[in-house]
Amino acid sequence: MSEIRQNLLTGEWVIIAPERAKRPVNLARSADKPVIPQSSPTCPFCPGNEHMTTDERFRISDKENNWLVRSVVNRFSVLSVAESTDHEVTANMIPWKDANIGKQLPIPGIGLHEVIIEHPRHDLTPAQYTLSQIENLIGAYMHRFVEFAADPRIKHVVVFKNHGEEAGASQQHPHSQIVGLPIIPGQVFERIGRALRFHRDTGACLGCRIIEEECHENSRVIDENEAFIAFIPFAALSPFHLWIFPKKHNACFSQTLPEERHLLAGILHRVLCRIFIALDNPAYNLVVRSLIPSEGKSPFVHWYISIVPRVGKLAGFELGTGMFVNSSSPEVSADRLRQVDMNL
């Protein structure tokens, strides 16, 4: 029998309907996966083609001065980069403030947008990186996160990765992106509000409470170490949708302690390996959900990493109701990922 569950962190309702997985699917799909070269002469992210990218802002190099990770300004930025603060968002530019109530007014699209080139190799995925390279990548994420948040125009920073065409990737070469926004997006604002209301009602952090419940239940936990836990949420929006949380309360990703970064890299690497093996290298989206450092002492927001394998698609029901249909029980999905032989 189907179940309806609510994701307490997001407020979204999900129908867990395992019978949906038995539907016949007659869409044509290619079983062949293209062979990807280690390097491409036309790829702007491959070593030797650095002239094809714009405005490098950060890099991590090895002892021979070969780059391991680079961050460059996104040539096709979703926002306009302005050096001055002339376009800073002020209260009188926000549509629901004072005299602007009821008016549809734009806010200048000023912000920051960079591409983080994760690896010199063109053909690898993060599941195939060494652990040290995952640590380098996390270090790059944190460095750029802090730099973006230091800009007085920036109110929210999001780090994300689109892996595979179905997840929205436009380049084969492994890369992530980071965007600094002059506003707090509506979805983020709503989730902060839910966390605040829970804290006011209970005196507890909603994220911490969810971690406690997952540890007690244990049927959805995939991996954990001293500092982090990975699990499929009780009301996962889609099959194998999972979260990685710090066990200790922390509202800001970049404020993870140096001694904890190795543990974060380890659990992230293992989780990505489990997904890679169990689901045959699926497309997925990875998002770091966090407040910026100036808000890092929040007692009610808990940062986390969300990973959503693209093994299903939204259809008319989801678009028409705002509800999600998950054709895989979170408990069954978690068990499948736990059973992956990590020695392969």
Query: What is the number of structural domains in the chain?
Result: 1
| 153-196 confidence digits (pLDDT tens) | 999 999 999 999 889 888 999 999 999 999 999 999 999 999 99
Residue 121 resides in a domain: yes
Per the prediction, the chain carries an average pLDDT of: 89
Which among 277, 274, 309 is positioned nearest to 161, based on CA atoms? 309
- Name the token pair of 17: 């309907």
How crowded is residue 25: how many other Cβ atoms within 10 Å of its Cβ?
A: 6
Report yes or no on 239 lying in a domain: yes
Q: How far apart are CA 71 and CA 48, in angstroms?
A: 15
Residue 35: pLDDT band with limits 50, 70, 90: confident
**What mean pLDDT do residues 15-21 have?**
78
Distance CA(235)–CA(320), nearest Å, equals: 19
pLDDT at 340: 94
Those residues whose C-beta lies under 8 Å from the C-beta of residue 218, and which sit 6 or more positions away, are none
pLDDT mean over 33-48? 91
Which CATH number does the domain housing residue 244 bear?
Answer: 3.30.428.10
Domain that holds residue 234: 3-19+45-82+91-338
Q: What was the pLDDT predicted at 34?
A: 75
Which has the higher per-residue pLDDT, 210 or 103? 210
pTM: 0.91
Residue 37, domain member (yes or no)? no
Q: Which amino acid is at 257?
A: L
Element (H, E) at 211: helix 206-217
Q: Give the mean pLDDT of 227-231.
A: 98
Angle 177-182-186 (CA atoms, 0-180°, nearest 5)? 85
| Distance in angstroms (rounded) separating the CA atoms of residues 7 and 189 | 16
Residue 253 belongs to some domain of the structure = yes
Domain contains 257 = yes
Instruction: Examine residue 36 and state whether it is found in any structural domain, yes or no.
Output: no
For the residues 190-210, what does the mean pLDDT come to?
97
Task: Please report whether residue 109 resides in a domain.
Answer: yes
Give residue-wise pLDDT tens across range 268-317.
999 999 999 999 999 999 999 999 999 999 999 999 999 999 987 767 77
Asked, for residue 8, whether it belongs to a domain, the answer is: yes
pLDDT surpasses 90 at 341: no
Of the given ranges (83-92, 112-121, 281-290), which has the lowest mean pLDDT? 83-92
pLDDT at 28: 42
Q: Is residue 243 within 8 Å of residue 306, measured between CB atoms? A: yes
